[in-house]
Amino acid sequence: MSLGLAAGPSAHGTTWAIGETEWSEPTGAALSSKARGGQNGSARFGFPASSFQYRELIPRLADRYRVIAPDLPGFGFTAVPEQRHYKYTFDALANTILAFTDALYLTRYALYVFDCGAPTGFRLAMARPERISAIVSQNGNAYEEGLGDAWVAEAYRRDNPNATVQFLDTGHFALETHVEEIAFAMRQLLSKTAG
């Protein structure tokens, strides 16, 4: 699919605009995201800098992949009306993003999860595993072992012994300091998993 995908309202009252995306679910949250190009979906969730942190990575992937970087409710430019009484939990964030992916008819995509966005992305993967082609994790932990001597235990190998694992000597601002290296590694991974 191209950049012009899913323009206009759906039967559920969802709105969708390309570029600086605004999407409203029936309950009233207005998600803000950055979206560009390509055919295959790649959704990204992160903290603390919102979709802004992906501004350098998106164009490096958008020639081949449709890249969407939503701001989670409570972060970036996403707005949730106070009268909605939104519950800011990882389950609620995941449900909102699931509704977002449904509204955009995303049936297969890779996730790039970062920091506090990881629990949201992992919940997405658990809820709809058939949709996930790959998970790229930057500082996103899913194991108690990872809370100690970070990654030494390699607990992730229990669940997926054939996982592609690549470590980069970076910090929270990896997309600022190593964007070319990350984009290259992601293109290689996505070419194997998303086609």
Kind plus residue range of the DSSP H or E element containing 95: helix 90-103
Give the separation between CA 29 and CA 84, rounded to whole angstroms.
8
Cα-flanking dihedrals φ and ψ of residue 27, to 5°? -85, -5
- Sheet containing 30-36: give its strands across: 20-24, 30-36, 65-70, 40-45, 109-114, 132-138
**Is 85 within a domain?**
yes
Q: Which pLDDT score, from 0 to 100, does residue 59 have?
A: 85
Phi, psi of 111 (to 5 degrees): -110, 135
Is 56 a member of any domain?
Answer: yes
Note whether residue 11 is domain-resident.
Answer: no
User: Quick check: is 116 in a domain?
Assistant: yes
Domain count, the chain: 1
Q: Is residue 2 part of a domain?
A: no
pLDDT tens sequence for the chain (195 residues): 111 122 222 233 333 333 455 555 544 455 566 566 555 455 544 444 567 788 888 888 888 888 888 888 887 777 788 888 888 888 988 888 888 888 888 888 888 888 878 888 899 999 999 998 888 888 777 766 666 665 566 777 777 788 888 888 887 788 889 999 999 998 898 888 875
Kindly report the CATH number assigned to the domain that includes residue 108: 3.40.50.1820
Mean pLDDT of the chain, nearest integer: 73
Q: Which structural domain range is residue 71 located in?
A: 20-141+150-193
- Give the residues across from 134 on adjacent strands: 110
Distances in whole angstroms, Cα of residue 10 to Cα of each of 15, 16, 71, 95: 7, 9, 21, 18
Residue 44 lies in a domain: yes
59 located within any domain: yes
pLDDT at position 16 is 32
What is the C-alpha separation between 15 and 29, in angstroms, rounded?
11
Q: In this structure, is residue 13 part of a structural domain?
A: no
Q: Which residue carries 């995306």 as its tokens?
A: 21
